[in-house]
Amino acid sequence: MKYVLLRVAAIVAAVASLVLQTATAQQRVTTNRGVVELETSDVNGISIRIAEDLANIVDDGATRRVVPVVGKGSLQNLFDLKYLRGIDMAILQTDVLDYAKAQNLLPGLDSTLFYISRLYNEEFHLLGRSDIKDITELANRKVNFDLRGSGTAITASRVFDLLRVPVVAVNDSQEVALEKLRRGEISALAFVSAKPAPLFAQVAAKEGLHFLTVPFNEAVGNAYAPARLTAVDYPALLSQGEAVDTLAVGTVLAVADLRQIPERDRNVTNVVEVFFTSFQSLLTPGHHPKWQEVNLNADLPGWRRYAAAEQWLNKNMQIARAPNPELLRAMFSRFVDERRQAMGTTLMNQQDKEALFRQFQSWQQGQRERIQ
């Protein structure tokens, strides 16, 4: 009898173990279903917020999920996209892509890397001590370029070379560099980030620090775009009506070569379709304002678009191009405010802005009719 009970107990335990293993295996499958890993920049940038916005519209709790992964900068993200297990997509600076291709860091990169969409611009911030009045005065002085291999390090190196301002590059983390700048151990720090960058949230002009103008000229025009920092972006560093000209570099949502991995390729395709279809929702309040700079249809010269993204755009070209009227009105209002602040003039009231916007719409319609 004792033997029989032991046998029964053993059978029950075996069955329970099998049930548990089956449930665990099923849970593992369920948890990993539709998962796409998206690598972002470090915590000082805004790409983490962008990834969170994207994850929130994609996740459905069952078949689709975007998992943001904090990276170590655009160049490392590029290597991770190529080699790191599990990384499907990454947010990269466009000049880092060009740099990697020019240096042949990843042979065959242009045939094995694809882009889903160009994203927003990131501004080049150059924060210096008050005794530095012009970027040329940084010649032969210490300027922090962020950690080696970071997007900022690559951009800063290229910008100073193009502007022919030789500096002594320092490679500390931005937090360490900011403290060194406050103590006078370095003359400036460079940082590429979409404005307003969280790094400068607690920095004030009374500390003896200010943004330096970065000139836009023919030398930098092929790789970068003109940009401006205003008091709207950094009220503690810039007074009302004050503005500082600088440069901006584009960013791109890139995807690994997944053609030989059907499941992951299918997962990314699902994400792309939801992202593009639901794009207008990212332009509403509550999401990062940089989404308003994104044009899904914009090309990235020299690189190939991901097939699923190309197919969606071919089928839905008008949707991708059609502006949201309310968004357009809000962007127009913000543009007017920023321009008047930069010029040091009084802000326009809402009624006058509405009248000006209607004039703009009338002009826009006339341009369409003339083209047609």
Task: For residue range 161-170, list pLDDT tens digits in order.
Answer: 999 999 999 9
Q: Which of the residue ranges 139-148, 284-293, 357-366 has the most confident prediction, judged by mean pLDDT? A: 139-148
- Asked if the model's pLDDT at residue 358 lies above 90, the reply is no
pLDDT at 45: 78
Q: Which of the residue ranges 263-267, 316-320, 334-338, 339-343 has the most confident prediction, judged by mean pLDDT? A: 263-267
Distance, in Å, from the CA atom of 47 to the CA atom of 288, rounded to the nearest integer, reads 10
**Of residues 11 and 142, more confidently modeled:** 142
Residues 6+ apart with CB under 8 A from 227: 121, 123, 124, 245, 246, 247, 248
Token output for 189: 């720090």
pTM for this prediction = 0.76
pLDDT at 160: 96
pLDDT band at 370 (very low <50, low <70, confident <90, very high): very low
- Asked if the model's pLDDT at residue 266 lies above 90, the reply is yes
- Asked if the model's pLDDT at residue 367 lies above 50, the reply is no
pLDDT at 348: 78
- Asked if the model's pLDDT at residue 342 lies above 90, the reply is no
pLDDT at 372: 40
Average of per-residue pLDDT values in the chain: 84
pLDDT at 168: 96
pLDDT at 352: 75
Distance, in Å, from the CA atom of 64 to the CA atom of 58, rounded to the nearest integer, reads 6
pLDDT at 23: 46
**Of residues 294 and 359, more confidently modeled:** 294
Residue 234 in contact with residue 216, Cβ under 8 Å?
A: no
Range of lowest pLDDT (167-181, 192-206, 341-355): 341-355
**Of residues 210 and 202, more confidently modeled:** 210
Mean pLDDT of 139-155: 93
Report the candidate in 109, 99, 69 with the shortest Cα–Cα distance to residue 85: 69
For the CA atoms of 154, 157, 158, 160, the dihedral, rounded to the nearest 10 degrees, stands at 150
Whole-number percent of the chain with pLDDT over 70: 81
Report the candidate in 249, 235, 246, 159 with the shortest Cα–Cα distance to residue 196: 235
Report the candidate in 122, 172, 169 with the shortest Cα–Cα distance to residue 141: 169
pLDDT at 247: 94
pLDDT band at 178 (very low <50, low <70, confident <90, very high): very high
pLDDT at 324: 59
Distance, in Å, from the CA atom of 362 to the CA atom of 184, rounded to the nearest integer, reads 54
- Asked if the model's pLDDT at residue 32 lies above 90, the reply is no
Q: What is the pLDDT of residues 295-308, one digit of tens each?
A: 999 999 889 999 99
- Asked if the model's pLDDT at residue 197 lies above 70, the reply is yes
